[in-house]
Amino acid sequence: MKLNFSFVPQLIEIDNHTFITNFIDTNSIVVDLGANDGRTSEKIYSTFGCFIYAVEPVPQLFSKIKAHDRVKKYNYCIAAKTEPILLNIPLDNCASIYQHDTEKKIESIVVDGITFDHFLKIQNIKIIDLLKVDIEGAELDLFASLKKENLQLIRQMTVEFHDFLWEDMHDQVELIKNKMVSSGFYCIPFSLNNGNVLFVKKELISYLAYTYLKFIKYVLGIRRILKRKTIFKNINLYA
């Protein structure tokens, strides 16, 4: 693909997931892993009118997803193997297959686990314009099981890594980021931690555009800080 050096990436942030809008339109395919109650899928659909595969393992959340002809929902847990998976539901965090002994569990449930590769095959997905990942620690299994042919299908990926919850994941997350870069993606973190990371295929944008994205993330960060300060400044603590 010939690079367009006059191309300026346009960004949007939806529920702490930042991605490039230039590559999303009504014909786009979006896969939402960790769809929760469907609000992010619905916001993306409302903005772009694209086709969305919403995947959520927790039955109570899955039941709240509003499916229609452009938003399809699937009650799966993305995992390293296609088999039943034990999903932990702690007291203070979201449901996850990742757990520490120190966490207080409400319960554990068994859900249908499926590999990302298997999901793509049974749904006959040939291209992914945007992959959104927010699967509460299971992203380690996802990236470990990603095949080269899977990566070739993905144009951009917005990921919430969870090493801010579990510090022992941090080194593995950094290895994943390095692996993605060596696999042909630019890596642009939009948060101070790894809670909002964008991967975009190098063939889609020029290095100049990548440099712009690396710069603009600091501008966006400063804007968020100033916005928070303005909010707190306007609060009357003695009202």
pLDDT at 218: 62
Residues 6+ apart with CB under 8 A from 24: 30, 44, 48, 50, 129, 130
Q: How far, in Å, are 156, 199, 204, 206, 237 from residue 184 at the CA level?
A: 11, 9, 10, 13, 50
Residue 165, pLDDT above cutoff 50: yes
Residue 234, pLDDT above cutoff 50: no
The pTM is what?
0.83
- The H or E element containing residue 71 is strand 71-74
pLDDT at 144: 86
Mean pLDDT of 101-126: 84
Rounded Cα distance, 97 and 83, in Å: 13
Confidence of residue 63 (pLDDT cuts 50, 70, 90): very high
Rounded Cα distance, 75 and 149, in Å: 24
Rounded Cα distance, 77 and 34, in Å: 8
Residue 190, pLDDT above cutoff 50: yes
Q: Tens digit of pLDDT for each residue in 196-216? A: 999 999 999 999 899 888 887
Is residue 190 within 8 Å of residue 217, measured between CB atoms?
yes
Q: Tens digit of pLDDT for each residue in 6-33? A: 578 899 999 999 999 999 999 999 999 9
Domains and CATH numbers, the chain: 24-204 (3.40.50.150)
Q: What is the DSSP string of 124-138?
A: T---BSEEEE--TTT
Please calculate the CA angle 120-123-129 and round it to the nearest 5 degrees: 60
pLDDT at 238: 32
Mean model confidence pLDDT for the chain: 83
Rounded Cα distance, 238 and 159, in Å: 40
Query: Which of residues 238 and 225 earns the better pLDDT score?
Result: 225
